[in-house]
């Protein structure tokens, strides 16, 4: 039933497919560049009509389509609900910053990491996304942008549903395709990858020569608190995670960003800030404080503005570079996993009748 996904293929692999179809090699380069512009086979003007038809009938050039779009009245942030070929749903957020459009993409359907505060993981991980399904999210967003306000996605953050390093091979393939000069061509400096801290993959990734900004979901100043929030902390200690971060800084020359969601009664006191500063001393890094999106299912609550300020000042006084993440798209269920869950709970059947992209 499912057609072969050509968007996941590297140029050499695409060439093999084209040659196996009895076509000359140069068609592969043309096809690669058209696909990564997000056009359908019918629109690939310099390919012969017969080849376009064969591609449309037998292959997929974008395995993702937008099923629903919500636009925030507060800040123009857009939330997309995407449908995949097998009926699975994923989501993404497009944010407009002064430096351009940033798209937050998913790397898995659901997630199996089990972080207590995260909605994406509540139903577990259904499956990994292919590289083409990650690229497809960007192509869909680019198309929406072209149809409406113009412009295109300039920055990509791997911070949607899923743990990128739990889908390592496909994520690396995706990043190589993403910065290919004949493709979407986004530089690695415009990409952020967020991980809950899978140490072996962090070490391997530092050798890939893909110098993205690494964001590490730390969320705690000690092993004890981290273990109470994130099952992964039982596998790797904070020392191991921070050593892997140090290694990343040394290998890539890029500072690491630590994400820290402030959770009432758990990790948000000034003494926690001081403990955190102690752990991060001498590491080339930046801390991003995230106001928690409440997850009522898990009984976790965020903190007040005042408490965020106190925590932030305590870190600053200890010499740690810190910012507070802006909340965007609050009125459109902008946070991780919220929209998909809303659909799975209330309106699952609509995934079969969604609008064609
Ligand atoms: N699996 C990756 C990336 C996905 S989540 C990771 O763990 O980093 C992207 C970020 O959102 C992570 O820092 C995650 O910890 C955070 N996050 C998840 N649920 C949240 C919530 N309810 N409130 C605030 N941040 C949350």
Beta strands in the chain (DSSP E): 4-5, 59-60, 64-71, 78-84, 89-97, 100-104, 108-110, 125-128, 153-158, 191-195, 213-217, 256-262, 285-291, 322-324
Report if residue 251 sits inside a domain. Answer: yes
Q: What pLDDT does 297 receive? A: 80
Q: Are 43 and 119 found together in one domain?
A: no
Task: Please name the residue whose Cα sits nearest to atom 13 of ligand 1.
Answer: 217
Report if residue 356 sits inside a domain. Answer: no
Q: What pLDDT does 348 receive? A: 36
Q: Are 53 and 67 found together in one domain?
A: no
Q: Are 80 and 170 found together in one domain?
A: yes
Query: What distance in Å separates the CA atoms of residue 169 and residue 106, rounded to the nearest whole number?
Result: 15
Report if residue 165 sits inside a domain. Answer: yes
Q: Are 75 and 163 found together in one domain?
A: yes
Report if residue 25 sits inside a domain. Answer: yes
Q: Are 207 and 173 found together in one domain?
A: no
Total domains in the chain come to: 3
Q: Are 210 and 270 found together in one domain?
A: yes
- CATH of residue 17: 1.10.150.530
Q: How far, in Å, from the CA of 120 to the mean position of ligand 1? A: 9
- CATH of residue 239: 3.20.20.70
Report if residue 190 sits inside a domain. Answer: no
Q: Is 76 left (phi over 0), alpha (psi -120 to 50) or beta?
A: left
Q: Which atom of ligand 1 is nearest to the CA of 160?
A: 4
Q: Are 102 and 163 found together in one domain?
A: yes
Q: Are 82 and 160 found together in one domain?
A: yes
Report if residue 341 sits inside a domain. Answer: no
Per-residue model confidence as pLDDT tens for the chain (357 residues): 468 999 999 999 999 999 999 999 999 999 999 999 999 999 999 999 999 999 999 999 999 999 999 999 888 899 999 999 999 999 999 999 888 999 999 999 999 999 999 989 988 999 999 999 999 999 999 999 999 878 999 999 999 999 999 999 999 999 999 999 999 999 999 999 999 999 999 999 999 999 999 999 999 999 999 999 999 999 999 999 999 999 999 999 999 999 999 999 999 999 999 999 999 999 999 999 999 988 788 889 999 999 999 999 999 999 999 999 776 666 666 555 555 555 555 443 333 322 222
Residues 94, 82 contacting (CB under 8 angstroms): no
Q: What pLDDT does 168 receive? A: 98
Helix pair angle (26-35, 11-20), 10° resolution? 120
Range of the domain at 52: 4-60
Indicate which residue of 15, 23, 68, 91 is catalytic.
91
Establish whether 104 is a catalytic residue. Answer: no
Q: What pLDDT does 99 receive? A: 86
Report if residue 343 sits inside a domain. Answer: no
Alpha helix positions (H), 148-285: 168-178, 199-205, 223-229, 238-252, 270-280
Q: How far, in Å, from the CA of 118 to the mean position of ligand 1? A: 6
CA 191 to each of CA 5, 159, 240, 304, 310: distance values in angstroms, whole numbers, following the listed order = 24, 11, 24, 31, 31
Query: Which one of 191, 196, 336 would you pick to mutate in the ligand 1 pocket, going by the greatest count of ligand atoms within 8 A of its CB?
Result: 336
pTM for this predicted structure: 0.93
Q: Are 208 and 241 found together in one domain?
A: yes
State the Cα angle at 44 between 40 and 49, rounded to 5°: 105
Which residues surround ligand 1 with Cβ inside 6 Å? 113, 115, 117-118, 159, 163, 194-196, 217, 259, 261, 290, 292-293, 295, 335-336
Q: Are 176 and 70 found together in one domain?
A: yes
Q: What pLDDT does 334 receive? A: 56
Task: Tell which of 185, 209, 242 closes a domain.
Answer: 185
Q: How far, in Å, from the CA of 56 to the mean position of ligand 1? A: 37
Q: How far, in Å, from the CA of 217 to the mean position of ligand 1? A: 7
Q: Are 322 and 200 found together in one domain?
A: yes
Q: What pLDDT does 64 receive? A: 97
Report if residue 353 sits inside a domain. Answer: no
Q: Are 30 and 76 found together in one domain?
A: no
Query: What distance in Å separates the CA atoms of residue 288 and residue 264, rounded to the nearest whole number?
Result: 17
Task: Tell which of 130, 150, 185 closes a domain.
Answer: 185
Task: Tell which of 16, 36, 60 closes a domain.
Answer: 60
Q: What pLDDT does 339 receive? A: 54
């Amino acid at each position: 039933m499912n057609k072969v996904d050509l968007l996941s293929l590297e140029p050499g692999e695409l060439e093999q497919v084209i040659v196996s179809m009895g076509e000359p090699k140069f068609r592969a380069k043309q096809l690669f560049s058209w696909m990564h512009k997000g056009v359908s086979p019918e629109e690939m003007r310099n390919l012969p009509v017969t080849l376009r038809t064969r591609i449309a009938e037998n292959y997929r050039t974008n395995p993702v389509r937008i099923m629903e779009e919500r636009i925030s009245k507060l800040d123009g942030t857009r939330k997309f609900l995407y449908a995949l070929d097998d009926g699975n749903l994923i989501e993404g957020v497009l944010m407009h910053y002064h430096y351009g459009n940033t798209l937050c993409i998913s790397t898995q359907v659901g997630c199996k990491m089990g972080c207590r505060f995260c909605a994406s993981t509540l139903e577990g991980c259904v499956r990994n996304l292919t590289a083409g399904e990650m690229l497809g999210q960007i192509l869909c967003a680019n198309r929406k942008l072209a149809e409406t306000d113009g412009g295109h996605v300039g920055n990509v953050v791997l911070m949607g549903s899923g743990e990128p390093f739990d889908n390592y091979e496909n994520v690396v393939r995706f990043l190589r395709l993403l910065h290919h000069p004949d493709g979407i061509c986004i530089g690695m400096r415009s990409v952020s990858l967020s991980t809950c801290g899978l140490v072996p993959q962090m070490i391997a990734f530092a050798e890939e020569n893909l110098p993205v900004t690494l964001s590490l979901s730390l969320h705690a100043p000690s092993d004890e608190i981290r273990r109470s929030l994130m099952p992964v902390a039982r596998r790797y200690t904070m020392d191991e995670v921070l050593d892997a971060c140090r290694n990343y800084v040394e290998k890539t020359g890029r500072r690491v960003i630590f994400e820290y969601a402030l959770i009432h009664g758990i990790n948000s006191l000034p003494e926690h800030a001081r403990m955190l500063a102690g752990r991060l001393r001498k590491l080339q890094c930046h801390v991003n404080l995230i106001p928690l999106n409440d997850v009522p299912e898990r009984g976790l609550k965020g903190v007040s503005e005042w408490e965020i300020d106190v925590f932030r000042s305590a870190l600053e006084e200890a010499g740690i570079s810190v910012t507070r993440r802006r909340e965007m798209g609050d009125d459109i269920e902008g946070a991780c996993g919220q929209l998909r869950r809303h659909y799975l709970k209330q309106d699952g059947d609509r995934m079969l009748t969604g609008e064609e992209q």
